[in-house]
Amino acid sequence: MPQKALRENFVILVVDDQVSDAEVLREAVARLGKVHVANTSQRALDLARRFRPDVVLLDILMPDLDGLALCREMKADPKVCDAAIIFVTAHSQPRMQIRALESGGVDFVQKPIDVAIVRARVRAHLNLRRQANRLAYFDALSGLPNRILLVDRLNQAVLHAQRSGTSASLVLINLDDFKSINNHSGHMLGDRILHEVASRLEGLTDVHIDTIARPMGDEFAILLTNLEKTDSIGPLVENILNELSHPLYIEKTRFDLSACAGVSVYPEDSKNHYELFSHAEATMYEAKKLGRSRYRFFSEALEATARARLLLERHIRHALEQRIFEVFYQPMYSFSQGSFCRMEALIRWRQADGSLISPNEFIPVAENTGLIIPLGSHVLQRACLDALKLMRAGFTIPVSVNISAVQFREENFLEMVLGTLNESGLPAEMLELEITEGVLATDMAWTSKVLEELRANGIRVAIDDFGTGYSSLAYLKRLPIDVLKIDQGFVREMLSDKSDADIVHAIVRMGQALNLELVAEGVENEQQARKLMELGCDVLQGYLYARPSPFEELEELLQSQHVKLA
């Protein structure tokens, strides 16, 4: 669908007290835009403030206020200061031309007037403005309106809806996992994908589509106007997401894209164009939480959630800056050794009253906002230093650190891990990284490369919460994995639920077949522990042995165990 121009016609203002000269100038530029004529400086100011001209043809010799002074007044007025002012004058002295330029003029036309020259000069300046407008209001990569122009269109759409009694809707679209594609396939290829997405969106045909824009990155927007009923929005959004899901081929490589969308509607859920955008954005993020190729409409409940999320994000940033986050440790017990053999580092956020905020509340927000990157780096750094401190105290207890999928996909992830190890002085074999199954299912080439580098540097890798995500035997066989951690959800009910017991048994057999170490999470009683030991799972983690605790308490626990063993 063709995009609307920023302005349908250029506006040209002719200012000359000589009626004959004014008429010649008007005729010269009549086909280049909408022309207004003023015979006095005051009339020129009034017309300029009303119509905001792109170009002003201004005579220097005016009866009430000379052209130089009028030019200065226009340049001082925020409503008309952007106009390109071309002086029309009989003066040919360099001194006068210098004064005109110092007043804010950009060009000269000599009298007697040459129509062809006037037309060429004005056309040149209008072309410059057209290019400037495109740079200011259009995205260079896709050719679509940018965020600035989109906001202007939103405002116009709301005003039109108010006058006409219709509705306007904004659909914000975000590609799923595009950052991974961009990082691993290269930014040039990523740009080509974005260009293709823009082309597909422009190919949509719907009478209500007013503007298709690219506000930023891999985010696109579709503005719908003149909606008398809103029940047609859902099918249109489904059609959009379906169009984007068709396979894309670039340089003989197939890309299967998907996207999520958030929808807001004026006046149903938004009072102005600012809310129309912010509501669509909040809803888009909510849709992405549901998975791939999802969309949602805005609601008051979502707004409350979005506000709470924003407040929590601010608190997380503050907690990071003030280094309020703590690292707790939960040791793992080995049957064969009869002692604690490893420990898992766990992030904790303590409030002013001493209570702890559950990681389930703030980790998802940290992942969605990117704050998981500095948060994860903080945990890794603290864990390495604490493990080294235990080593120096005589306790060789490797530390296991959880790695978010967001962290893992960061381009400098390896450098961050190796740099932290190097700075802390902890031997690499004392560090284990826990990743989820979801990491294995995205970009196998990248995942394999990172895991191989970790192993080459002596770092072990564990699959956390195994059995709750998507893993295939092919992945586990091909990738350098050292440990499978059986999810506590299966362990908790394994004595009373046959299906959970069968799942645990299958995971243990799978781990043994692949020569992987097994760790059972969530062990809370002796019966569970005995059953797991009988199945062949040697390492157990759970409340039966120890709860997550601050480092000082962990030291005391290890010391007491050492005394008992002695």
| Residue found by looking up tokens 């493990």 in the block | 387
**Distance of alpha carbon 236 from alpha carbon 275, whole angstroms:** 22
Radius of gyration for the alpha carbons in the chain, expressed in angstroms and rounded: 33
Task: Give me the pLDDT at residue 340, please.
Answer: 93
Per-residue confidence of the chain (566 residues) as pLDDT tens digits?
334 444 447 899 999 989 999 999 999 999 999 999 999 989 999 999 999 899 999 998 888 788 899 999 998 888 788 899 999 888 777 888 888 888 888 888 888 888 999 999 899 988 888 887 777 788 888 889 999 889 989 999 999 999 999 999 999 999 988 887 777 777 788 888 899 999 999 988 888 898 999 999 899 999 999 988 877 788 888 889 999 998 888 877 888 889 999 999 999 888 999 999 999 998 998 898 888 889 898 876 655 666 677 788 889 999 998 889 999 999 999 988 889 999 999 999 998 888 999 898 899 888 878 899 999 999 999 999 999 999 999 999 999 999 998 899 888 999 999 999 999 999 999 999 999 877 776 667 788 889 999 999 999 999 987 766 555 566 777 788 999 999 898 999 999 989 989 999 999 998 898 899 999 999 999 999 999 999 999 999 999 999 999 999 999 999 887 655 44
pLDDT per position as a tens digit, 260-280: 999 999 998 889 999 999 999
- In 245-371, where does DSSP find H-type helix? 273-289, 300-321, 359-369
Q: Are 228 and 198 in contact (CB under 8 A)?
A: no
d(CA 469, CA 467): 6
HSE, CB side, 13 Å, CA atoms: give it for residue 529: 16
Task: Assess contact for 83 and 53: CB atoms under 8 A.
Answer: yes
**Structure-token pair, residue 472:** 């295939």
**339-350 vs 399-402, strand pairing mode:** parallel
Helices (H), 138-177: 147-164
- Contact of 507 with 538, CB cutoff 8 Å: no
Which pLDDT score is estimated for 547? 94
DSSP string, 505-534: HHHHHHHHHTT-EEEE----SHHHHHHHHH
Residues 6 or more apart whose CB falls under 8 angstroms from that of 180 comprise: 409, 442, 443, 446
Q: Dig out the tokens for 556 from the structure.
A: 């005391």
Phi, psi of 332 (to 5 degrees): -115, 140
Of 565, 525, 520, which Cα lies nearest the Cα of 538? 520
In 3D, which of 116, 91, 415 has the Cα closest to residue 105? 91
Contact of 220 with 197, CB cutoff 8 Å: yes
Place of tokens 């040459």: 114
**Distance (Å, rounded) from C-alpha 251 to C-alpha 51?**
50
Tokens of 216: 């930023």
User: Would you tell me how many other CB atoms lie within 10 Å of the CB of residue 77?
Assistant: 13
- Domains of the chain with CATH codes: 11-137 (3.40.50.2300), 147-298 (3.30.70.270), 332-565 (3.20.20.450)
* Tens digits of residue pLDDT in 529-559: 999 999 999 999 999 999 999 999 999 999 8
DSSP letters spanning 405-448 = HHHHTSTTHHHHHHHHHHHHT--GGGEEEEEEHHHHTS-HHHHH
- The beta-strand segments (E) located in 338-384 are 339-350, 356-357
CB within 8 A of 408, min separation 6: which ones? 435, 439, 447, 450
Cβ neighbours for 385, distance < 8 A, ≥ 6 positions apart: 424, 426
Residue 564's pLDDT is: 52
pTM of the model: 0.56
C-alpha 235/C-alpha 169 separation (Å) is: 14
Helix %, strand %, coil % of the chain (to 5): 50, 20, 30
What is residue 3's predicted lDDT score, i.e. its pLDDT? 44
Q: 296 and 287 in contact (C-beta within 8 Å)?
A: yes
Q: By the 8 A CB rule, do 118 and 25 touch? A: yes
pLDDT of res. 1: 39
Q: How far is CA 43 from CA 4, 349, 362, 396, in A?
A: 32, 67, 62, 88
Give the model's pLDDT for residue 418. Answer: 96
